[in-house]
């Protein structure tokens, strides 16, 4: 597609990916090497516990992490459509088993795995002592390049070199501008807005997005579009809201149960048919893996999307009324700020942020190489948990 660009902003400990079509942001993702999603990874796991009530078993997958193996996914050679056996008839505690990760850990729950993988994968896993990673899954960059953009802009020469070597067919599409941020101020502001629960709509309307353990809810307020004499205008505003809701689901990586409360929804089934068609078109365009189920008895539009990757809000912190950024997110933001400091900087931060920074050993080493000296870390117990600043360390 013409003018389909992938921008990758790199800094120690993090790559941020923004896909633009024209000037419109159509996809966003964050890749943190210290926190891989593991989806698609081949693992030689070990069974740690059976959970008959949950029809599955828990696995150790290495690195202190765990995964859940459903009974329906525990028998490699079970014919499609055949009934799954009880989990106790398939695996036992202590057993080594080759699996692929099919869903990232999210929402306080571990990853999900399948043992229904090719024989060659099982053979490869058998050569590794469990529990251990055999081969990683594709990260956000590799997944983005599976649908090659027409052009790429990077600010990290090392990443550009690795991508040219790993994706030689795309080498001619890569432009690298060292020292110039890949994201301009307007794009940074739009990305920051992806963590805001409120999304502005035309004519004063808005979407209000909330993430709960049970569902993601999107409340539509069409602002000035409403009233009995303005039904057509209200209908048009609801259609526009549905298109933007689908876009936000994609940009924020929302999945699972999604409930949309439209504004002034007509009561009759015929009156809702047009809105349902608009929802189906919007989600088909932005998230083809989503299914629009229809309107509930309460008039709420129900959408379901497979849970595979965690929502952006969880990657960055904890969903709340908005997003409470994690100490790691603050530490990585401080690393970006340190790179912009013309002098040798130091980071002064709360104990939580300093602890997160110290845990990023590889990122600190990369930052020191770019700065020409290690970043000094100064803990200030009087600062709030989210507080930090970069100072001249000279």
Q: Write out pLDDT tens, residues 305-346.
A: 999 999 999 999 987 666 789 999 999 999 999 998 877 789
Q: Report whether pLDDT(260) > 70.
A: yes
d(CA 33, CA 162): 15
Query: If DSSP states are collapsed to H, E and C, what string results for the chain?
Result: CCCEEEEEEEECCEEEEEEEECCEEEEEEEECCCCCCCCCCEEEEEEEEEEHHHCEEEEEEECCEEEEEEHHHCCCCCCCCCCCCCHHHCCCCCCEEEEEEEECCECCECEEEECCCCHHHHHHHHCCCCCEEEECCCCHHHHHHCCCCCEEEECCHHHHHHHHHHCHHHHHHEEECCCCCCCCHHHHHHHHHCCCCEEECHHHCEEEEEECCCCEEEEEECCCCCCHHHHHHHHHHHHHHHHHHHHHHHHCCCCEEEEEECCCCCCCHHHHHHHHHHHHHHHHHHCCCCEEEEECCCCCEEEEECCCCCCHHHHHEEEECEEEECHHHHHHHHHHHHHHCCCCEEEEECHHHHHHHHHCHHHHHHHHHHHCCCCEEEECCCCCCCCEEEEECC
Higher pLDDT, residue 357 or 345: 357
Residues 245 and 206: beta-carbon distance below 8 Å: no
Q: Pick from 236, 217, 218, 216: which is nearest to 226 by CA?
A: 236
Least confident of 37-41, 140-144, 223-227, 259-263: 223-227
Give the pLDDT score at 394: 58
Give the pLDDT score at 203: 73
Give the pLDDT score at 35: 92
Higher pLDDT, residue 166 or 268: 166
- For 10, 53, 74, 225, 289, the CA distances from 87, given in Å and listed in that order, are 44, 10, 8, 55, 29
Give the pLDDT score at 182: 95
Give the pLDDT score at 118: 96
Q: Highest mean pLDDT range out of 9-18, 320-329, 382-391? A: 9-18
Give the pLDDT score at 55: 97
Length of the chain: 394
d(CA 245, CA 239): 10
Give the pLDDT score at 27: 97
Residues 89-108 pLDDT 10s? 999 999 999 999 999 999 88
CATH number, domain 42-135 = 2.40.50.140
Structural domain 4-32+139-190, CATH architecture: 2-Layer Sandwich (3.30)
Cβ-Cβ contacts under 8 Å for 17 (sequence gap 6 or more): 6, 7, 8, 27, 28, 29, 30, 31, 140, 141, 144
Give the pLDDT score at 80: 86
Give the pLDDT score at 346: 93
Residues 191-243 pLDDT 10s? 999 999 999 997 778 999 999 888 999 999 987 654 445 677 788 889 999 99
Q: Report whether pLDDT(3) > 90.
A: no
Give the pLDDT score at 6: 98
Give the pLDDT score at 266: 62
Confidence (pTM): 0.92
Residues 27-61 pLDDT 10s? 999 999 999 999 999 999 999 999 999 999 999 99
Residues 230-240 pLDDT 10s? 677 788 889 99
């Amino acid at each position: 597609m013409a003018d389909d660009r992938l921008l990758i902003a790199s800094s120690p400990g993090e790559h941020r990916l923004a896909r633009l079509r024209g000037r419109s942001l159509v996809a966003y993702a964050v890749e943190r090497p210290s926190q891989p999603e593991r989806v698609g990874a081949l693992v030689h796991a070990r069974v740690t516990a059976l959970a008959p009530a949950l029809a599955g078993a828990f696995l150790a997958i290495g690195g202190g992490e765990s995964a859940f193996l459903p009974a329906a996914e525990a028998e490699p050679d079970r014919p499609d459509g055949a009934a799954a056996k009880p989990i106790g008839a398939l695996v036992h505690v202590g057993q080594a088993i080759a699996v692929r990760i099919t869903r990232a850990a999210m929402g306080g729950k571990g990853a999900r795995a399948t043992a229904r993988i090719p024989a060659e994968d099982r053979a490869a896993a058998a050569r590794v002592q469990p529990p251990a990673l055999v081969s990683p899954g594709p990260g956000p960059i590799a997944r983005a390049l599976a649908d090659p953009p027409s052009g790429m802009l990077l600010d990290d020469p090392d990443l550009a070199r690795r991508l040219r070597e790993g994706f030689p067919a795309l080498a001619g599409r890569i432009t690298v501008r060292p020292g110039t941020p890949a994201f301009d101020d307007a794009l940074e502001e739009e990305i920051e807005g992806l963590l805001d629960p409120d999304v502005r709509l035309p004519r004063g309307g808005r979407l209000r997005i909330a993430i709960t353990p049970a569902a993601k809810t999107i409340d539509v307020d069409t602002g000035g579009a409403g009233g009995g004499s303005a039904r057509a205008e209200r209908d048009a505003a609801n259609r526009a809201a549905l298109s933007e809701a689908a876009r936000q689901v994609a940009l924020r990586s929302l999945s699972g149960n999604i409930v949309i409360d439209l504004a002034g929804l007509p009561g009759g089934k015929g009156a809702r048919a047009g809105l349902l068609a608009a929802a189906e078109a919007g989600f088909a365009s932005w998230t083809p893996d989503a299914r629009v189920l229809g309107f509930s008895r309460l008039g709420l539009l129900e959408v379901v999307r497979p849970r595979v990757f965690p929502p952006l809000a969880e990657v960055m912190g904890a969903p709340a009324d908005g997003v409470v950024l994690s100490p790691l997110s603050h530490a990585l933001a401080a690393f970006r700020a340190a790179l912009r400091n013309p002098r040798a900087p130091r980071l002064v931060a709360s104990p939580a942020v300093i602890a997160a920074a110290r845990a990023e050993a590889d990122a600190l080493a990369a930052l020191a190489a770019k700065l020409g000296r290690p970043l000094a870390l100064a803990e200030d117990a009087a600062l709030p948990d989210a507080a930090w600043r970069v100072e001249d360390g000279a």
